[in-house]
Amino acid sequence: MRGRPNLHSSYRSDGAILSTSTQKVAFAVGLGAVIVLPFLGLSRTWLILLATTFVAAIGAIGLNLVTGYAGQISLGHAFFLGIGAYVGAALSGDPSASVIGLGLDMLIWLPAAGLVAAAAGVLVAPVALRLKGLYLALVTLGLVFLGEHIFRNWDSLTGGTGIGRKPAVLQLLGWRFDKPGQIGGILLSREQQIYFFTFILFVVMAFAAKNLARSRVGRAFSAIRDRDIAAEVMGVDLTKYKVLAFAVSSFYAGVAGSLYFTVTGFVEPASFNLLLSILFIAMVVIGGASSIAGSIMGAAFVTLLPQIINSASGWLPFIGDGAGGVLSPAQLERILFGGLIVFFLIFEPLGLFGVWIRVRNYWKAWPFSY
């Protein structure tokens, strides 16, 4: 509408994924920047870190769907990540190796990793019908310890503690993303190919989650989160939507888990512990609950912060493992994570997404305060 570009005159316009011209331009600019970035001389370390960020964002979006949108607190995300990792590794692994391997293509093992994790989520979901809040969190926490025990002792699948196994093979219809190759006349390194593959998958799954959140299913999730009794009175089927929330969240976790360790080339049973669950919760809390954009911001922050601290340790005198350092990079990382979680829970529940909204609204009204 002329003169009122942000005034929506229809429900479809108001609910669009990119509802304003500014958002569309920003998305196009961001997309172009992400495509150009690998050709600007970024090191292999940073390319792998960015690819890991895309994969972590998929997992964080999944956790946000069940915890942020549907209000079902889950501390068992590492369990579903582990299921995805080992299903992918087993289906794509070498059949002649000492651990389980079927040598299947990514066209099969990637959806299968998500589906098996989703099936596990469906099995857990009935617990959410009887419990909520702290009690549900404790039950899902038990999944982490149960999964850790299974992964540590199922040697034919995981390779055993301290030994591990190779993760899923990034091979799609004969094309290896984990080896240098030429696409469209452009020679791409292993890291560049993994970067682009994970980015495309991340965009597809982020848009799917955004669509889900703005659909009737997403509104049912929000109603259950805000007041489940009132939602049931309004006709929302609690059983159906709670099971669906866990299934979709676990599917995202399974896909993310199957790819999370492919960039490092090694997966170890002890990796899927409580710390991994807490890292994903930190992504949701710091980025902002009930927000797909917040999940992405949180995943980027949590994944990239350790490398940024390591890079800064050379010119910040109080950081360092040597005699001159007060804090090691790992100690500073833990302090920042803990402090930021407390800060955002108290002062900005919407996390980094909320901070971005405040900054955006300030400049939209500038120089007027109101």
User: In the block, which residue shows the tokens 């009132």?
Assistant: 230
Q: State how far the Cα of 246 lies from the Cα of 338, in Å rounded to an integer.
A: 27
**Lowest mean pLDDT across 58-62, 81-85, 252-256, 312-316:** 312-316
Q: What pLDDT score was predicted for residue 139?
A: 85
pLDDT digits (tens, 9 = 90+) for 160-195: 887 888 888 888 888 888 888 887 778 888 889 999
Q: State how far the Cα of 311 lies from the Cα of 302, in Å rounded to an integer.
A: 15
**Tokens matching residue 136:** 């549900």
User: In the block, which residue shows the tokens 């490092």?
Assistant: 264
**Tokens matching residue 160:** 């055993």
Which range, 161-170, 253-262, 308-317, is most confident?
253-262
**Tokens matching residue 214:** 């703005």
Cα dist. 76→70, 180, 300, 312 in Å? 16, 36, 21, 33
Please give the mean pLDDT across all residues of the chain: 85
If 0-12 CB within 10 Å is exposed, 13-18 middle and 19+ buried, where does residue 98 land?
Answer: exposed
pLDDT digits (tens, 9 = 90+) for 21-44: 777 888 889 889 888 988 887 888
Over range 6-14, report the average pLDDT.
69
Over range 282-292, report the average pLDDT.
88
**Lowest mean pLDDT across 35-39, 50-54, 79-83:** 35-39
Among residues 187, 186, 167, 170, which one has the least CA distance to residue 178?
A: 170
- Name residues whose C-beta falls within 8 Å of residue 46's C-beta, 6 or more positions apart in sequence: 307
Q: What pLDDT score was predicted for residue 369?
A: 62
Give residue 150's pLDDT band: very low, low, confident or very high (50, 70, 90).
very high
Q: What pLDDT score was predicted for residue 320?
A: 67
Q: State how far the Cα of 41 lies from the Cα of 352, in Å rounded to an integer.
A: 29
Report helix, strand or coil for 334.
helix
**SS3 labels along 207-233:** HHHHHHHCCHHHHHHHHHHHCHHHHHH
pTM, rounded to two decimals: 0.89
User: At residue 4, does pLDDT exceed 60?
Assistant: no
Give residue 2's pLDDT band: very low, low, confident or very high (50, 70, 90).
low
Q: What pLDDT score was predicted for residue 23?
A: 78
CA quadruple 168, 170, 174, 178: dihedral, nearest 10: -130
